[in-house]
């Protein structure tokens, strides 16, 4: 494991560590002073093929629901950490509300680009500049981080409540969802109406034709759908999950 160090963005600093094993991941979380046994939100999915109106709703979801709830509960948020899609929206929402909650990005070491670093691959992506922490994990393909992301969220939450929120999403989102729901046994809230994977899972929940990858998620009994237009219900549902097993976040 690399000793955690500080990476400087234009107007922000974040702690970052490179890990090679789950044991190193646990040590890195402790070394970066992230208190555990606290509520956790995992955010997965994408933001592609979305209308301008729906994109505006998704922005509000981050700024008016996810970031404020994390701030209220001092919950940690865990996502993919790059400056794209839902990760970018999450980082910007944290900045907009001047949040102090931990926002951890998990990305493959072979594809994550640090500030001032050259791009080694056409598939590489820069880290989102408003996250507070990053873990770089083994891998040189997007999706290699899926199991690590789900495991990191569980390590931070421990006995505290945690929930995954899925918006839109493409190929990698399916693996992210599977790791969170079936491996880590974390409840999943699907944002219905946000497109792609989210709408396919919602269709399956309604008993309509769906992607085969949705079946083990639905069969788990841990998945529910909430409409993109119902931000109040989303906030109410997440808060109820957190309140069902309150802990001192420390």
Taking a C-beta distance cutoff of 8 angstroms, is the pair 139, 112 a contact? no
Instruction: Encode pLDDT of 152-185 as tens digits.
Output: 999 999 999 999 999 999 999 999 999 999 999 9
**In sequence order, which ranges of the chain are alpha helices (DSSP H)?**
22-31, 52-60, 67-73, 85-96, 146-157, 171-178, 196-205, 214-219, 231-243
Domain count, the chain: 1
pTM of the model: 0.94
Residue 80 lies in a domain: yes
Pairing verdict, β 40-45 and 188-192: unpaired
* CATH code, domain carrying 47: 3.40.50.450
Greatest alpha-carbon span in the chain? 49
Q: Give me the domain span that covers residue 68.
A: 5-243
Residue 248 lies in a domain: no
Per DSSP, what are the bridge partners of residue 15?
Answer: 6, 133
Instruction: Encode pLDDT of 33-84 as tens digits.
Output: 999 999 999 999 998 888 888 889 999 999 999 999 999 999 999 999 999 9
Residue 249 lies in a domain: no
């Amino acid at each position: 494991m690399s000793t955690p160090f500080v990476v400087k963005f234009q107007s922000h600093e974040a702690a970052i560590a490179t890990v090679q094993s789950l044991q190193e991941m646990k040590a890195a979380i402790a070394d970066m002073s992230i208190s555990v046994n606290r509520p956790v939100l995992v955010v997965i999915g994408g933001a592609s093929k979305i209308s301008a109106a729906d994109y505006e709703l998704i922005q509000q979801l981050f700024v008016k629901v996810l970031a404020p709830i994390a701030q209220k509960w001092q919950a940690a948020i865990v996502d993919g950490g790059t400056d794209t899609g839902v990760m970018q929206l999450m980082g910007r929402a944290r900045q907009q509300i001047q949040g102090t909650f931990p926002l951890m990005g998990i990305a493959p070491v072979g594809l994550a680009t640090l500030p001032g670093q050259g791009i080694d691959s056409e598939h590489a992506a820069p880290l989102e500049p408003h996250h507070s922490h990053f873990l770089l994990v083994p891998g040189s393909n997007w999706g290699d981080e899926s199991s690590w992301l789900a495991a990191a969220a569980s390590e931070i939450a421990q006995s505290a409540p945690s929930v995954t929120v899925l918006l839109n999403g493409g190929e990698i989102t399916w693996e992210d969802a599977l790791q969170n729901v079936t491996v880590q046994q974390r409840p999943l809230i699907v944002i219905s109406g946000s497109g792609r994977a989210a709408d396919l899972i919602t269709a399956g929940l309604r008993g309509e034709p769906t992607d085969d990858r949705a079946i083990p998620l639905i069969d788990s009994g841990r998945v529910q759908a909430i409409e993109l237009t119902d931000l109040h219900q989303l906030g109410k549902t997440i808060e109820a999950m957190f309140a069902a097993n309150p802990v001192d976040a420390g």
